A and B are shown apart, each in its own frame.
Chain A
């Protein structure tokens, strides 16, 4: 099982839990599960090319992924995944 932390903007809009536990081998598994539970959520996080949206930051167990990481990125057993809004201003 892994743990996934979702950004507040997403949990507010979807009335979703901010932290969930699920079984996953890749981030694609994570997104599939999220979209099953809260339909439409995946499109708030990734684009049609299966890369994360530009202004989101994704961490897996303390390792920050490069911008627009692909959902095929593997996640290890007991991983802690954080999906965060990137630094922004204005």
Chain B
């Protein structure tokens, strides 16, 4: 199993057989911002969103776990007459049969049906009339989350900041915003529940329970039981309902994990770095910080927290201060894998099928 850690200055890789001993491999894609990686078990292809300050955004591929990389396919660009430009790759989602989705900055969705050789925009998304409500957050105007629904054929979800969460029931031809009940706290008091424009930071789609979604908003943690038709606010008992990532338990739909940060500055509340877990669908949350440092002045970005598929469930996160932690016991205890890395943008678990 590999832990792929995307940072501000390249991709760091850690290999393990037992989730106890970790072997650090040499960093690769040096100097590029790695906002996301993904592994396609069907094709044994490792994808990396490599964002170069000099050479732009590319989806680069490796077939040997990152030892060698190609230079990316073609077409991951808006047209010359488009007022927006593709400046970063934020999310990658292999969908089977050679199909891969890529979410980019400025917020948009691309699709490849040949494993990343050629890309074309899923134009229906940016053509939605609510596109004019999208704006950049501090991290940029980014489409950062893509999910393919395992229960409903042709159903996709995406989220962008700021813009909100959207759903397609026809494979991306048409989209609808599904932000009803999600608060936009940065709007005037009487305009805080718009159709779109919310700053959704991350969502997670359950692979085992149809319609179950968890969502970390720019203020607010939410759960949906109906595929986003409605949302229930479940962040009241957290020390801060602000945060970036959210991770669900793959087998228990009522279990989810968040990493709260203060609204300002963006670091752990009261400088206690802790993962918070709910096991009752969000009614209550418990702090899990055994093994984590105190005081902490770090935050954790939206793609820098993830889980594996093993039993007990393993969790992994990287901080803005370049520390990498893991838990092999569902969050009960935490262990340092690496520190003094560059700012960590993404943490991904990958293994051969």
Footprint of B on A, CB under 8 Å?
7, 9-10, 13-14, 38-41, 43-45, 47-50, 53, 55-56, 85-86, 88, 90
Q: Measured between alpha carbons, how far is A56 from B8 in the docked complex, in Å?
A: 20
Say if the beta carbon of B264 comes within 8 Å of chain A.
no
CB distance from A20 to the nearest CB of B (A): 17
B contact residues around A90 at 8 Å (CB): 8
Q: In chain A, what residue has the closest Cβ to B56?
A: A53
- In the bound complex, do residue A43 and residue B54 qualify as a contact, i.e. CB atoms below 8 Å apart? no
Whether B266 sits at the interface, judged by CB under 8 Å, is: no
Mask: chain B, 56-94; 1 = CB below 8 Å from A; 0 = not: 101000000000010111100111101001000000000
Query: Is B52 among interface residues, defined by CB-CB distance under 8 A?
Result: yes
In the bound complex, do residue A44 and residue B55 qualify as a contact, i.e. CB atoms below 8 Å apart?
A: yes
CA separation between A50 and B79, bound complex, in Å? 11
Residues of A within 8 A of B71 (CB): 13-14, 38, 40-41, 44
Q: How far is the CB of B132 from chain A (nearest CB, A)?
A: 22
Contact at B78–A48, with CB atoms within 8 Å?
Answer: yes
Known contacts being A48-B78, A49-B80, A50-B80, is A9 close to B72, with CB within 8 Å? no
Contact residues, B225-259 vs A (CB, 8 A): none
* Complex alpha-carbon distance, A47 and B54, angstroms: 11
Q: Which residues from chain B contact A88 at a C-beta distance below 8 Å?
A: 53-54
Q: B80 to chain A: which residues have CB within 8 Å?
A: 48-50
Most chain A Cβ neighbours within 10 Å, of B58, B71, B73, B82: B71
Residues of B within 8 A of A9 (CB): 31, 52, 54-55
Q: Closest CB of chain A to B114's CB: distance in Å?
A: 14
A64 vs B200: C-alpha distance in the bound complex, in angstroms?
44
- Which chain B residues (75-120) contact chain A, with CB distance < 8 Å? 77-80, 82, 85
The answer to whether B52 and A43 have CB atoms under 8 Å apart is: no
Q: Which of B52, B69, B85 meets A47, CB within 8 Å?
A: B85
A85 to B77 Cα, complex, angstroms: 21
Chain B residues with Cβ under 8 A from A55's Cβ? 53-54
- The answer to whether A44 and B77 touch (CB under 8 A), given A13-B69, A13-B71, A14-B71, is no
A56 touches B56 (CB 8 A): no
Chain B residue at smallest Cβ distance from A49: B80
Which of the residues A7, A48, A56 comes within 8 Å of B77, measured between beta carbons?
A48
Instruction: State A38–B350 Cα separation when bound (angstroms).
Output: 31
Nearest to A89 among chain B residues (CB) is B53
Give complex CA distance A44, B52 in Å.
9
Name, among A14, A38, A48, A53, the residue most crowded by chain B CB atoms within 10 Å (CB to CB): A48
Q: Is the beta-carbon distance between A56 and B54 smaller than 8 angstroms?
A: yes
The answer to whether A40 and B55 have CB atoms under 8 Å apart is: no
Which residues of chain B are within 8 angstroms of A44 by Cβ–Cβ distance?
52, 55-56, 58, 71
Given contacts A9-B55, A48-B85, A53-B55, 5 further A-B contacts (CB under 8 A): A14-B71, A43-B56, A43-B74, A53-B54, A90-B8
Contact B54 A85 (CB under 8 A): yes
| Least CB distance, B116 to chain A, in whole angstroms | 12
- Alpha-carbon gap, A53 to B57, bound state (A): 11
Q: How far is the CB of B84 from chain A (nearest CB, A)?
A: 11
Which chain A residue lies CB-closest to B32? A9
Hey, which chain A residues are within 8 Å of B54, CB to CB? 7, 9, 53, 55-56, 85-86, 88
**Separation of A49 and B72 alpha carbons in the complex (Å):** 20
Chain B window 1-15, contacts with chain A (Cβ cutoff 8 Å), 1 for yes, 0 for no: 000000010000000
Residues of A within 8 A of B52 (CB): 9, 44
